[in-house]
Amino acid sequence: MKVAYVTTDHPAAGQDDEREIVLAAWLGAGIEGSPVSWHDPRVDWSDFDAAVVRSAWDYIERRDEFVAWAHRVESVTRLFNPASVIEWNTDKTYLRTLGVPTVPTHWAESGTDLPEWDEYVVKPAVSAGARDTIRTRDRDAAAGHAAALLAAGRTVMVQPYIPSVEQEGELSLLYFGGQFSHAVRRHPMLTGVAETAENRATLRDPDDDQFALAERVLAAVPENLLYARVDLVRMPDGEPVLIELELTEPYLFLRDELAAPDLFAETLAEMLKG
């Protein structure tokens, strides 16, 4: 089986330290993987038995083009995750429709006031890696950033900063084919402490309530998923809530769990047989 490992020729892909791990695991499962840039016009996607989106990390700058690409590729081969999932998941307005507990979110509109919170996180709905995101205690600064994003034609999310992130961190639960693989405590963003290879993540056993919420989140997605990452935080009262559901091109923390690369490969092989 020939499968495209979908990446980009943008410098952002240079941060992909999971590529060789994945390609080796795929080969062990009888899958010949080839790194391919999603926007390379020379690629004939029908040459592949499937395409798996991995480090297409420049899509943020051209999301509409990326979504159109996904639908085009899916018309000639299998795409993981499906184009419908990619279109839905690359705009964080999906948080409105899941029907699960999430971080409180104010969807900003021109001329409306922000809630009274101690500290704000303001970001566009199409974003990744904290791009165009600010954290501030200054309500006027938060409102100004929201207004600037709105003026640029972007949908804007305003959320309270959750202090527990700095103590407990974000918990990411990784799934392949709906099967739980592993979970990590992620380095918190927006703290001013730089992420390094050493502090990026630590393996964690999720608590029962975190497992339950992650399963509830995934149950709300009707499509079959090759991979999923469910990112949770705890509110000040201890309730776990969803901060993000990563179904497009998530980092999978494959270096943190030795069995994860093989599970990923075996899941892909089984789905290709179906």
Reading phi first (left if > 0) and then psi (alpha if -120 to 50, else beta), residue 191 is in alpha
Residue found under tokens 């009888």: 30
- Joined together, the tokens standing for residue 198 give 């050493």
DSSP state of 102: B
- Give the strand order in the sheet containing 179-186: 201-203, 179-186, 170-176, 227-234, 240-246
Q: Which residues are the active-site residues?
A: 200, 229, 246
Phi, psi of 172 (to 5 degrees): -110, 125
Counted residue by residue, the chain has a size of: 274
Helix (DSSP H) and strand (DSSP E) numbers for the chain: 7, 13
**Ordered DSSP codes for 149-216:** HHHTT--EEEEE--THHHHT-EEEEEEETTEEEEEEEEPPSSSSPPP-TTTSEEE-PPPHHHHHHHHH
Q: What angle do CA 267, 269, 270 make, to 5 degrees?
A: 65
Beta bridge partner(s), residue 241: 233
Instruction: Report the relative pairing of strands 170-176 and 240-246 from DSSP bridges.
Output: unpaired
- Joined together, the tokens standing for residue 119 give 């500290």
Q: Are 92 and 133 in contact (CB under 8 A)?
A: no
- Joined together, the tokens standing for residue 166 give 């700095």
From CA 79, how far away is CA 82, in angstroms rounded? 5
